[in-house]
């Protein structure tokens, strides 16, 4: 009994256990990671909006539907290699640091996107053209495998606990800014030079713009410092290695634990439940995201026969709505919690997916605009919350790797394949409500994952101490910790003297 109670005793924090955030460093971290996401999603926005054009340039077929499916198949291939990128870059980021890996992924993403703009078409080099396009997509997908998980990890480890939702939402703000810039550029080009001009040369322009964007992002990332959480974890690992070296028989054990293989084994054996929750939430977010951003423009034009410019403007307007609302949602998640927002969004997706698609299918401008905004409202619920929720599922020493693997597995299997599967199902079944059914299934899976999610708003990341903005907040946190530790010490003493008196508190302590 005594041994059990002493194990449950909570120690109070010392002032050195609380990290006061470096505000200039925090702002640089948010800006540099957000611009990487802007770069990534600029490419996705461009690719989604020129999918029909790329089909004509790179794939020989008389059937426009076949060209679209082939284009989205190439789009999906990039997602199939993302888990490989996650397996390489994730554990590497946990070993050598977040900053260096994020700089590498930035270079690869920019190079892969820029190269697409230089490729010759099928009419010039035949089947080598789609193969080269595929190679560029593989480079993009491999690098992206380490991008989003690293960026969310970096921001989460720099953000104070009480503002992690708000600051994390700026990462996905960059996502939708990038998509809006890419899709907006394609819309303006299409209106200016027409579809014929786009097929002849206009499609190259958005991809070539990626080069300067990538250089700007790389410059910003090279100026970053390593996160406080990673530095603290590295110091603990060094101390553990020194202690292990003092006992020569334990050195191999510690080396195996710190190796890439050892980390992967620990991720899959000890954190599989968190990985499943992560994959469910990522599926919910990314199926909605890719359905709206990547498939909806093609669905409205190729399937429903609506005007291309109108469809592009409606989806672009939806993205601008998400941009305006996303940081508000992020701030709300700090106040109300992550779970309530995910519950609201997943239930809303199940209930509103069919009405939204029916409105989009109605034709005209007003009804489709309302349908797009309904989907955008569900999307922003996930987009404004995910960057703060997902990193908190894993401990510091494994965060980058575990998040990279689970995130990219889910995106590659369910998110990135959404445009391909949706277009194939619509072409096969001739049922234009397929996108709604697809979204409803994602909502159900996301709801199940959310029910198993523990609330993390306002709490320190696993494996890290509290993060605050000011010295005053640090002192307050230490004082509150001492009060909490004193209360637990009192409860232990009461139980030692009167074991029956504390029976009612055991369940509460176990939960804490």
- Assigned architecture for domain 267-465: Up-down Bundle (1.20)
Q: In the structure encoding, which two tokens stand for residue 4, read together?
A: 């059990």
Most confident segment among 110-119, 275-284, 407-416, 474-483: 275-284
pLDDT value at residue 12: 65
What fold is seen in the domain 11-226? Growth Hormone; Chain: A; (1.20.1250)
Task: State the burial class of residue 421 (Cβ atoms within 10 Å of its Cβ: 0-12, 13-18, 19+).
Answer: middle
Residue 22 to residues 165, 227, 434, 467, Cα–Cα distance (Å) = 18, 10, 48, 10
Q: How large is the angle between the packed helices 399-410 and 272-290, nearest 10 degrees?
A: 50
Most confident segment among 7-16, 317-326, 350-359: 350-359
Q: Tell me the average pLDDT across 255-274.
A: 76
pLDDT tens for 178-228 read 878 887 888 888 888 888 888 888 889 988 888 888 788 788 888 888 888
Can 11-226 and 267-465 be said to share one CATH topology?
A: yes
The strand pairing partners of 467, in sequence order, are 19
pLDDT value at residue 511: 41
| DSSP secondary structure of 336-390 | H-HHHHHHHHHHHHHHHHHHHHHHHHT-SSHHHHHHHHHHHHHHHHHHHHHHHHS
Q: Tell me the average pLDDT across 155-167.
A: 91
pLDDT tens for 276-300 read 999 999 999 999 998 988 788 888 8
Distance between CA atoms of residues 491 and 493, nearest Å? 5
Higher pLDDT, 169 or 491: 169
Q: Tell me the average pLDDT across 321-348.
A: 94
pLDDT value at residue 5: 42
Domain limits, the chain: 11-226, 267-465
Kindly indicate the confidence band of residue 107, based on its pLDDT and cuts at 50, 70 and 90.
Answer: confident
- Say yes or no to pLDDT of 248 above 70: no
Note every long-range contact of 94-98, with CB atoms under 8 Å and residues 24 or more positions apart, other chains counting.
94/263, 94/397, 94/398, 94/399, 94/400, 94/401, 95/258, 95/260, 95/263, 97/226, 97/230, 97/234, 98/150, 98/153, 98/154, 98/157, 98/226, 98/227, 98/230, 98/400
C-beta neighbour count of 161 within 10 angstroms: 24
Distance between CA atoms of residues 193 and 83, nearest Å? 39
Residue 311 to residues 164, 370, 414, 487, Cα–Cα distance (Å) = 35, 13, 24, 61
Mean pLDDT of the chain: 82
| DSSP secondary structure of 203-269 | THHHHHHHHHHHHHHHHHHHTPPPPHHHHHHHHHHHHHHHHHHHSGGGHHHHHHHHSHHHHHHHHHH
């Amino acid at each position: 009994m005594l041994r059990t109670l002493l194990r449950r005793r909570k120690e109070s924090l010392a002032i050195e256990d609380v990290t006061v955030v470096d505000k200039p460093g925090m702002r640089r971290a948010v800006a540099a990671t957000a611009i990487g996401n802007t770069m990534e999603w600029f490419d996705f926005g461009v690719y989604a909006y020129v999918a029909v054009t790329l089909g004509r340039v790179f794939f020989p077929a008389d059937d426009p539907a076949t060209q679209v499916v082939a284009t989205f198949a190439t789009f999906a291939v990039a997602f199939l290699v993302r888990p490989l990128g996650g397996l390489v870059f994730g554990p590497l980021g946990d070993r050598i640091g977040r900053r260096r890996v994020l700089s590498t992924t930035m270079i690869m993403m920019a190079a892969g996107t820029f190269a697409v703009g230089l490729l010759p078409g099928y009419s010039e080099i035949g089947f080598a053209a789609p193969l080269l396009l595929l190679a560029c997509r593989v480079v993009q997908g491999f690098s992206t495998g380490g991008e989003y998980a690293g960026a969310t990890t970096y921001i989460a480890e720099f953000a104070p606990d009480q503002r992690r939702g708000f600051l994390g939402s700026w990462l996905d703000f960059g996502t939708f800014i990038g998509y809006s810039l890419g899709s907006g550029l394609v819309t303006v080009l299409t209106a200016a030079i027409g579809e014929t001009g786009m097929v002849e040369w206009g499609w190259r322009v958005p991809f070539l713009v990626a080069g300067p964007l990538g250089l700007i992002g790389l410059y910003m990332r090279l100026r970053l410092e390593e996160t406080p959480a990673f530095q603290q974890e590295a110091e603990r690992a060094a101390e553990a290695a020194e202690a292990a070296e003092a006992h020569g028989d334990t050195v191999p054990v510690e080396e195996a634990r710190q190796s890439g293989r050892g980390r992967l084994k620990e991720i899959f054996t000890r954190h599989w439940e968190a990985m499943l929750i992560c994959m469910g939430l990522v599926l919910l977010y990314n199926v909605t995201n890719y359905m709206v951003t990547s498939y909806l423009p093609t669905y409205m034009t190729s399937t429903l026969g609506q005007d291309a410019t109108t469809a592009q403007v409606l989806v672009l307007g939806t993205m601008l709505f998400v941009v305006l609302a996303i940081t508000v949602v992020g701030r709300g998640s700090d106040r109300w919690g992550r779970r309530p927002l995910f519950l609201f969004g997943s239930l809303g997706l199940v209930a509103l997916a069919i009405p939204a698609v029916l409105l989009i299918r109605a034709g005209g401008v007003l009804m489709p605009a309302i349908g797009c905004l309904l989907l955008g409202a569900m999307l922003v619920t996930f987009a404004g919350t995910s960057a703060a929720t997902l990193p908190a599922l894993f401990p510091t020493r494994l965060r980058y790797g575990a998040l990279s693997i689970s995130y990219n597995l889910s995106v590659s299997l369910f998110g990135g394949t959404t445009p391909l599967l949706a277009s194939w199902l619509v072409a096969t079944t001739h049922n234009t409500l397929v996108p709604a059914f697809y979204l409803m299934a994602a909502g159900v899976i996301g709801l199940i994952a959310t029910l198993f999610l523990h609330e993390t708003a306002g709490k320190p990341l696993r494996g890290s101490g509290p993060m605050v903005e000011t010295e005053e907040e640090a002192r307050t946190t230490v004082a509150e910790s001492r009060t909490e530790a004193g209360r637990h010490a009192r409860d232990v003493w009461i139980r030692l003297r009167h074991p029956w008196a504390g029976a009612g508190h055991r369940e509460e302590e176990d939960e804490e």
